[in-house]
Amino acid sequence: MAEADLKQRVRRILEVSEKMGMVHTVRLLLWEIDAESVGTVMGMLPEHIKKAVQEDAEKMPRTDTEWADWHDPFFLGVLYDRSTTREEAIKDQQVAEQDTRRAVEAVRAYFAEHEG
């Protein structure tokens, strides 16, 4: 069931990708990717979007220090909610940034295996 849900979410992202633009499309796709889902997601992507995901992953930080200094600008605007405490917002941001790192590392590993 989880893979079917994943595929449905990815299809929805792809359906509106032209309206959102490539930057937002890639960001939403990265939020769907982890070590287990990367093959499924990449297998669903048109070549130009797959290339954009790869290019974005290559531009992201690589070391622990670089990741510690990196903050996801998309997260800051998306989760603003006056009912959320500062502590909750900070924790949510940290989780989102850790998820992004895992996604980027999964994408890099996918391309290293399939193109390297």
> From CA 107, how far away is CA 87, in angstroms rounded?
30
DSSP-based helix, strand, coil % in the chain, nearest 5:
80, 0, 20
pTM of structure: 0.87
**How much is the average pLDDT of 72-79?**
64
Say if residues 97 and 90 touch (Cβ distance below 8 Å). no
- Classified as helix, coil or strand, 103 is helix
Q: What pLDDT score does 22 carry?
A: 94
pLDDT for residue 44 is more than 90: yes
What are the pLDDT digits (tens) for 19-40? 999 999 999 999 999 999 999 9
Q: What pLDDT score does 79 carry?
A: 56
Q: What pLDDT score does 91 carry?
A: 86
